[in-house]
């Protein structure tokens, strides 16, 4: 900012106002009268010059002080120490509330796992199982195996079924696809629904399962033999090969190739049935029960990790924010002291400048009065011996109460205490969160 305290060259002002000449001139005229108690024209001119000069400086000084005060008001943290303490308490409260929320979620997941363990234990006891559940094959592996069996069987069958077909190769492929699809599909269903039931403890259920498996074996043999006779009937050009195949059932096949395709069809059926069988644990219901249990465990682990990461982020954010506020408080306090020091120095310069101008004014008046005394024959007015006083207004003090360092230290102490409390709450929360392995051990011990 520009310096408003411009220095006056007394000699230059004296020469410009011609104080000595005009003092001698007024003295020759015996002016001002000896009884005069007020400033005469020349003295008034000197006083007005000094007062106007000081008035401009006073306006500039007031603007400068407002700038200092504006900078002080911009130090928001210093001005709101109480809100910092309040925010610290709120941060602690919010963190503890989040801990309660996370603890409640983990409690629900823990209860679900406890129930899941009970369900799994009861299932194993009821069914006499002591082994863990087998891991289920990936669906793409099962369906891929079935698809490969169907595709290979279709390609192999289409070589004979295209013979003597009105649609040519396309007709042979469609017929082979249907034959292979039925063979593989029924085998897959049997492997998934019938084969596992032979492992049940209930004798009736096992008997029915074996009956179903026997029917599937019979169906597979009959279906593949019928398919082979159907291929033979088509290769021989017999009309209505479907009907002819039924009539040929029980008789020998016409070619070694047909025998090979029968064996291949049976192999593909068994392969598809095994793929279906391995889609899940071989004991019915065990795989689903174990899968539900595993999912609940995974959910608990995910909830545990999510709670830990969320609380860690909140704690770290609180520590970082508190650190930033403390650093900003220290910076603003130092800046405030600098501003107050500069403002006080400026105010002293303002007072000193007024005193200086008052001294200059009295020196100029003294030059005029000395010249006036020397030129007059009558006594000079008594007021020539008195000093002129500059009319001035003191600059205002900084608004608001002074903020001692102890208040800053108290606010920083609240922040540090809040950080310590959050860290303690974090450690307590993490300690109260039971890891999955410890939860499993506790449930097993119970």
pLDDT, one tens digit per residue, over 168-189 is 556 667 777 888 888 899 999 9
Higher pLDDT, 289 or 164: 289
Question: What gap in Å lies between CA 230 and CA 2, rounded to an integer?
Answer: 112
Among the listed ranges 230-239, 299-308, 347-356, which one has the minimum average pLDDT value?
A: 230-239
CB 116 within 8 A of CB 292: yes
* Non-local CB neighbours of 17 within 8 Å, separated by 6+ positions: 42, 45, 46, 49, 364
SS3 198: helix
Give 212-259 pLDDT, tens digit per residue: 999 999 999 888 888 777 777 666 666 666 666 666 766 766 667 778
Q: Residue 167: pLDDT above 70? A: no
DSSP state of 433: S
Based on its alpha-carbon atoms, the radius of gyration of the chain, rounded to whole angstroms, reads: 54
pLDDT, residue 326, reads: 81
CB 83 within 8 A of CB 411: no
pLDDT, residue 161, reads: 59
The first and second tokens of residue 411, run together, are 């606010």
Tell me how many helices (H) and strands (E) the chain has. Answer: 13, 0
Question: What gap in Å lies between CA 168 and CA 161, rounded to an integer?
Answer: 9
* Non-local CB neighbours of 415 within 8 Å, separated by 6+ positions: 84, 88, 322, 325, 326
CB 248 within 8 A of CB 229: yes
Reported residue count of the chain is 446
CB 313 within 8 A of CB 225: no
pLDDT, residue 401, reads: 58
Q: Rounded mean pLDDT of 274-295?
A: 86
Q: Residue 68: pLDDT above 80? A: yes
Question: What gap in Å lies between CA 255 and CA 258, rounded to an integer?
Answer: 5
Question: Contacts by 138-141 with C-beta closer than 8 Å and gap 24+?
Answer: 139/279, 141/275
Neighbours of 402 (CB within 10 A): 9
pLDDT, residue 244, reads: 66
Question: What gap in Å lies between CA 108 and CA 124, rounded to an integer?
Answer: 24
CB 161 within 8 A of CB 232: no
Give 314-337 pLDDT, tens digit per residue: 888 888 888 888 888 888 888 888
**Average pLDDT across the chain, whole number:** 83
pLDDT, residue 262, reads: 82
Q: Residue 194: pLDDT above 60? A: yes
SS3 396: coil
Question: What gap in Å lies between CA 207 and CA 347, rounded to an integer?
Answer: 109
CB 140 within 8 A of CB 150: no
pLDDT band of 207, cuts 50, 70, 90: very high
Q: Rounded mean pLDDT of 44-69?
A: 89
CB 372 within 8 A of CB 24: yes
Which residue shows structure tokens 């020759």?
28
Q: Residue 115: pLDDT above 80? A: yes
For the question of whether the overall pTM of this predicted structure is more than 0.75, the answer is: no
Give 369-428 pLDDT, tens digit per residue: 999 999 999 999 999 999 999 998 888 877 665 677 777 777 778 778 888 888 888 888
Question: What gap in Å lies between CA 361 and CA 20, rounded to an integer?
Answer: 14
pLDDT, residue 82, reads: 66
pLDDT, residue 149, reads: 86
- In 3D space, the residue among 50, 7, 61 whose CA is nearest the CA of residue 394 turns out to be 61
Q: Is the peptide bond before 32 cis (omega within 30 degrees of 0)?
A: yes
- In 3D space, the residue among 73, 124, 35, 152 whose CA is nearest the CA of residue 343 turns out to be 73
Q: Residue 59: pLDDT above 60? A: yes
């Amino acid at each position: 900012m520009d310096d408003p305290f411009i220095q006056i060259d007394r000699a230059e002002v004296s020469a410009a106002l011609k104080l000595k000449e005009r003092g001698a001139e007024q003295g020759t005229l015996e002016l001002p009268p000896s009884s005069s108690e007020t400033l005469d024209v020349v003295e008034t001119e000197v006083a007005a010059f000094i007062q106007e000069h000081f008035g401009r400086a006073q306006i500039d000084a007031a603007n400068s002080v407002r700038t200092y005060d504006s900078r002080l008001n911009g130090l928001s943290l210093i001005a709101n120490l109480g809100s910092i303490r309040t925010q610290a308490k709120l941060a602690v409260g919010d963190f503890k509330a989040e801990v309660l929320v996370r603890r409640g979620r983990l409690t629900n997941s823990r209860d679900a796992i406890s129930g899941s363990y009970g369900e799994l234990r009861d299932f194993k006891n009821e069914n006499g199982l002591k082994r863990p559940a087998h891991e289920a094959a990936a669906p793409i592996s099962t369906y891929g195996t079935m698809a490969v069996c169907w595709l290979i069987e279709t390609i192999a069958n289409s070589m004979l079924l295209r013979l003597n077909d009105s649609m040519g190769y396309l007709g042979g492929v469609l017929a082979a696809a249907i034959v292979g699809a039925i063979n593989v599909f029924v085998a897959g269903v049997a492997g998934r629904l019938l084969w596992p039931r032979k492992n049940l403890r209930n004798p009736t259920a096992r008997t029915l399962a074996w009956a179903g498996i026997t029917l599937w074996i019979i169906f597979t043999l009959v279906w593949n033999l019928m398919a082979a006779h159907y291929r033979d009937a088509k290769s021989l050009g017999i009309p209505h090969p479907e009907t002819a195949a039924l009539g040929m059932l029980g008789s020998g096949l016409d070619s070694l190739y047909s025998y090979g395709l029968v064996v291949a069809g049976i192999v593909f059926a068994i392969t598809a049935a095994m793929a279906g069988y391995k889609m899940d644990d071989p004991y019915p219901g065990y795989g689903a029960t174990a899968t539900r249990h595993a999912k609940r465990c995974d959910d608990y682990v995910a909830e545990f990790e999510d709670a830990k990461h969320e609380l860690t982020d909140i704690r770290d954010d609180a520590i970082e924010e508190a650190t930033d506020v403390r650093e900003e408080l220290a910076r603003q306090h130092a800046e405030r002291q600098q501003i107050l020091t500069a403002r006080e120095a400026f105010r002293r310069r303002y007072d000193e400048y007024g005193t200086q101008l008052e001294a200059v004014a009295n020196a100029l008046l003294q030059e005029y009065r000395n010249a006036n005394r020397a030129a007059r024959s009558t006594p000079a007015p008594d007021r020539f011996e008195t000093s002129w006083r500059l009319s001035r207004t003191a600059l205002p003090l900084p608004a608001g109460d002074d903020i001692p360092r102890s208040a800053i230290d108290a606010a920083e102490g609240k922040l540090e205490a809040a950080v310590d409390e959050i860290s303690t709450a974090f450690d307590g929360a993490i300690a109260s969160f039971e890891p999955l392995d410890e939860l499993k051990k506790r449930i097993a011990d119970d």
